[in-house]
Amino acid sequence: MTLVIPNGYANITFRYSQPDQPQPASFSIGAGIGVGTDFTTLATDMGDAWVASLRAGVASTHSLIGVNVEDATQSVFVPRVAFGTGGSVTVDSWAAVVVKKHTNLKGRVHRGRMYLPSMATNTDSDEAGMWVGAAQTDFQGHVDDFFAALGGVDGVTEAALFHDSAGAGSALAPDQIFSLEVTNSIGIQRRRRLKG
């Protein structure tokens, strides 16, 4: 699968360091961007948005290590080390918060999700792998704050869901994301080899 990033959009990836994992974990979200947006400034501002919203839900043993902004012609990584302030808790490296990206459009091609790493403790889920109510509510608050912060970053016109080059939506323009929803079950953080 190759991600299609059309002109006027960027893919923004937040990379995490986890103490028990050799490869960084990450999550990405698309964004519409204004003409002439500086990618270094955008990555720096996105790091600030993460600190203002998601940091409080991340374990203090885990950290953001940087933000990558890329489009079809360039890719810029800005280091940003910021440890979580969610306390010194046990975080399973495989456990992730699954977040649905809502576009208000029908059909599988218009649905997306992302996996937020480092935000869960063993006591936040039950034996069936479902988040307990208080944890899901807490995670949703951080995600709502993140979505609001994303919309306030200079140069960002909208949050966007991209389509892959081989799928049913390959010819479609990105869909605007209107909200993010934390699901009630544990997800497994997928890891990809980093380029370069």
Residue 3 lies in a domain: no
Number of domains in the chain: 1
Residue 59 lies in a domain: yes
How far are the Cα atoms of 1, 18, 36, 42, 79 from residue 47, in angstroms, in the given order? 27, 17, 20, 9, 9
Residue 2 lies in a domain: no
What is the C-alpha to C-alpha distance for residues 96 and 70, in angstroms, rounded to an integer? 24
> Within a 13 Å sphere around the CA of 103, how many CA atoms are in the beta-carbon half?
20
Residue 194 lies in a domain: no
| Amino acid identity at 160 | A
Which pLDDT score is estimated for 130?
A: 81
- Residue 159 structure tokens: 């949050």
Domain of 65?
9-188
Radius of gyration of the chain, Cα coordinates, nearest whole angstrom? 16
Taking the whole predicted model, whether its pTM rises above 0.75 is answered as yes
Compute the average pLDDT of residues 93-109. Answer: 79
Compute the average pLDDT of residues 105-116. Answer: 79
At 33-90, the pLDDT tens digits run 998 999 999 999 999 999 999 888 887 888 899 999 999 899 999 999 998 887 655 5
